[in-house]
């Protein structure tokens, strides 16, 4: 069996490594891939992955049996619809179902219809509506661009003045092409990422994970794509996970089916766990990055079988995703300037030594004159497993210390919370 992975980050590298463990021994291709994925899959760097037709052409040319789409943009652009229409099986939602991530207002409206707990909100369509609602809002309040914004479309505003300024930026710059802005109640608590595989009808949860969004220790500084993760999460065992899936994922999947836009693929709920229970912050329609790097190494079931089963209505009936009882900690090594910018071309040393101690997945790397160099904001991920959170965490930091490049940024507090909770 031949599988094509679309994407070139740490998430796609983790997916490639998990697919390599499949008993089907699939032949793996990845477009565009990166300097590390090339050890696990044949990379196709020249396909324009921003163009759905180019993805379809590559898949057909290489006769692939399954395409696994990593990032959101091709999903929202209809990659799965185009592939399936061309007779190429694809893992992921249709463009219509991907609107759960592609449009915050669609997701909010659907959650309301499905009675899924989430922050209250109003939709602001212009400056006038913004001025009116922002004068009455309580602060802090949250403003969100309606469309895809690569993690940069959320602004937490402490005052009306800040909110007016943020709304003005959204409306005048239309940075993310948005025509509307969502004003949302601020939720307090701790975040949890719970991903589940869906076949249009059934929901199979994966292990929960926690992601560290801010660039600096202690959750300080601006938001990033994610600076680290760990899995599982203390306090969220099988019973708690079932409860969340029952109140969030299953009602969403049922409502989507009722509307004739069944959800196939992986539904990622970003949750805030507060005093009144879990509430949804956002949905993503793909694997999380860097959650996937911590979750998939613990998966004992065959990822390939599970991905294939999501395509058929009812295909996941009776399936479960089995996880080991080990802990995984993933550290993100970012380049100088991230998240505002990124430094490219810095030589990376020590990957081989680190890989003897832990799993190293590549995110923004490239090869230059036989050396691996930085090529993006998030450069590498180091994932270690252990019998306790402390063991996994110590191993991950030990391995990461072997790696160096100019301006390397790494948070020092990833999974410290889990270590504390499990010890106490």
**Is there binding between residue 282 and ligand AMP (CB under 6 A)?**
yes
Binding-residue total with ligand AMP (CB under 6 A): 15
What is the C-alpha R_g of the chain? 21
- Tell which positions 211-240 bind ligand AMP, by CB under 6 A: 213, 223
- 401 CB burial (10 A radius; 0-12, 13-18, 19+): middle
Which residue's beta carbon is nearest to the bound ligand AMP? Answer: 282
Q: How many residues bind ligand GLY (CB under 6 A)?
A: 6
Q: Which stretch binds ligand AMP (CB under 6 A): 46-54, 149-157, 340-348, 371-379?
A: 149-157
Tell me the window of 56-64, 73-81, 184-192, 291-299 that interacts with ligand AMP (CB under 6 A): 184-192
Helix (H) or strand (E) holding 345: strand 344-347
H helices then E strands: how many in the chain? 15, 23
Stretch that binds ligand GLY, among 43-51, 196-204, 285-293, 322-330 (CB under 6 A): 285-293
- Tell me how far apart the alpha carbons of residues 221 and 53 are, in angstroms, rounded to a whole number: 39
Site for ligand AMP in 186-215 (CB under 6 A): 186-187, 191, 213
Alpha carbons within 13 angstroms on the beta-carbon side of residue 277 total 9
Q: Which of residues 19-78 bind ligand GLY (CB under 6 A)?
A: none
> Measured between alpha carbons, how far is 341 from 126 in angstroms, rounded to an integer?
30
Question: In whole angstroms, what separates CA 397 from the centre of its chain?
Answer: 22
| 289 binding ligand GLY? (CB under 6 A) | yes
203-232 binders of ligand GLY (CB under 6 A): 211, 226
Partner whose footprint covers residue 40, from ligand GLY, ligand AMP, none (CB < 5 to 8 Å by kind) = none
The reply to whether 101 sits near ligand GLY by the rule CB under 6 A is: no
Report the partner that residue 154 touches, choosing among ligand AMP, ligand GLY, none (CB closer than 5 to 8 A by kind): ligand AMP
12 binds ligand GLY (CB under 6 A): no
Q: Which residues of 70-92 are buried (b: 16+ CB within 10 A; e: fewer)?
A: bbbbbbbbebbbbbbeeebbbbb
Q: Residue 365 interacts with ligand GLY (CB under 6 A)?
A: no
- Among ligand AMP, ligand GLY, none, residue 289 binds (CB under 5-8 Å by kind): ligand GLY
Establish whether the linkage from the previous residue to 229 is cis, with ω within 30° of 0: no
CA distance 364 to 180: 32
Part of the chain binding ligand GLY (CB under 6 A), chosen from 90-98, 104-112, 282-290, 312-320: 282-290
- Report the 3 state secondary structure along 33-67: CCCCHHHCCEECCCCCCCCHHHHHHHHHHCCCCEE
Among 82, 16, 21, smallest CA distance to 55 is for: 82
Residue nearest to ligand GLY (CB): 288
> Which spans of this chain sit near ligand GLY (rule: CB under 6 A)?
211, 226, 284, 288-289, 291
> Which spans of this chain sit near ligand AMP (rule: CB under 6 A)?
119, 142, 144, 151, 154, 156, 184, 186-187, 191, 213, 223, 270, 281-282
């Amino acid at each position: 069996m031949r599988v094509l992975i679309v994407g070139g980050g740490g998430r796609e590298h983790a997916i490639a490594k998990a697919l390599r463990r499949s008993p089907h021994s699939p032949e793996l291709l990845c477009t565009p891939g990166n300097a590390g994925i090339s050890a696990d899959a044949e990379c196709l760097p020249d396909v324009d992955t921003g163009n759905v037709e180019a993805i379809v052409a590559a898949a057909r040319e290489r006769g692939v049996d399954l395409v696994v789409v990593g990032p959101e943009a091709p999903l929202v652009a209809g990659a799965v619809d185009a592939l399936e229409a061309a007779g190429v099986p694809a893992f992921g939602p249709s463009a219509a179902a991907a609107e759960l991530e592609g449009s915050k207002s669609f997701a909010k409206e659907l959650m309301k219809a499905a009675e899924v707990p989430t922050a209250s909100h109003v939709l602001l369509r212009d400056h006038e509506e913004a001025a009116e609602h922002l004068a009455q809002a309580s602060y802090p309040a949250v403003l969100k661009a309606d469309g895809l914004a690569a993690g940069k479309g959320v602004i937490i505003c402490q005052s009306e003045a800040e909110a007016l300024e943020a709304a003005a930026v959204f409306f005048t710059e239309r940075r993310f092409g948005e025509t509307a802005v969502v004003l949302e109640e601020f939720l307090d608590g701790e975040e949890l990422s719970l991903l589940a595989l869906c076949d249009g009808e059934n929901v199979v949860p994966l292990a929960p994970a926690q992601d560290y969004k801010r660039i600096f220790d202690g959750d300080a500084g601006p938001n990033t794509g994610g600076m680290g993760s760990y899995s599982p999460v203390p306090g969220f065992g099988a019973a708690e996970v079932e409860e969340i899936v029952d109140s969030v994922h299953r009602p969403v999947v049922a409502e989507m089916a009722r509307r004739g836009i069944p959800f196939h693929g992986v539904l990622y709920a970003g949750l805030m766990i507060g005093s009144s229970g879990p509430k949804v912050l956002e949905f993503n329609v793909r694997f999380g990055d860097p959650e996937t790097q911590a979750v998939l190494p613990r998966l004992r079931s065959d990822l390939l079988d599970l991905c294939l089963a999501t395509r058929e209505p009812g295909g996941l009936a009776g399936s479960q995703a089995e996880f080991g009882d080990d802990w995984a900690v993933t550290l993100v090594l970012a380049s100088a300037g991230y998240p505002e910018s990124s430094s490219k071309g810095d030589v990376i040393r020590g990957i081989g030594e680190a890989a003897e101690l832990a799993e190293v997945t590549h995110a923004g790397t490239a090869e230059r004159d036989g050396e691996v160099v930085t090529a993006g904001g998030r450069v590498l991920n180091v994932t270690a497993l252990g019998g306790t959170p402390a063991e996994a965490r110590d191993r991950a930091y030990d391995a990461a210390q072997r790696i160096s490049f100019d301006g390397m940024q790494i948070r020092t507090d990833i999974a410290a919370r889990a270590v504390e909770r499990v010890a106490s």
